[in-house]
Amino acid sequence: KAGVTQTPRYLIKTRGQQVTLSCSPISGHRSVSWYQQTPGQGLQFLFEYFSETQRNKGNFPGRFSGRQFSNSRSEMNVSTLELGDSALYLCASSLSFEGRAYEQYFGPGTRLTVT
């Protein structure tokens, strides 16, 4: 079974621009979560989608948004990029969001650099 894939793997953007990251979950997984990982803050939860609905959202500004399509693929968008948005963005999929089924299978991540 193919793992979680993320595109692109690396991205360089300028302050003020916007960016869209894509994630394809493991086949059969309906829950997709997004995380931001930085050396100072660790792994922080952005949001989670299940069956095209955003179920939960972390403490990030409205510049961070996402969506999920009917085939469970997900995208996240960051508008008006700031230098502090430079990070590794990880997508993870799981069967469900309850108990053991919430085991996250992570993709390789997208390394975003904002200059």
- Which residues of this chain interact with other proteins, rule CB under 8 A? 33, 35, 42-45, 48, 55-56, 58, 90, 97-100, 102-109
Rounded to 5°, the CA angle 71-73-76 comes to: 145
Helices and strands, counts by H and E, the chain: 0, 11
* Residue nearer to other proteins on the CB measure, 19 or 90: 90
* Residue nearer to other proteins on the CB measure, 86 or 97: 97
Residue 22 to residue 77: CA distance in whole angstroms: 9
* Residue nearer to other proteins on the CB measure, 70 or 98: 98
Q: Measured from the CB of residue 75, what is the shortest distance to other proteins in angstroms?
A: 19
Residue 3 to residue 5: CA distance in whole angstroms: 6
Q: Measured from the CB of residue 16, what is the shortest distance to other proteins in angstroms?
A: 29
List the structure tokens of 105.
């299978």
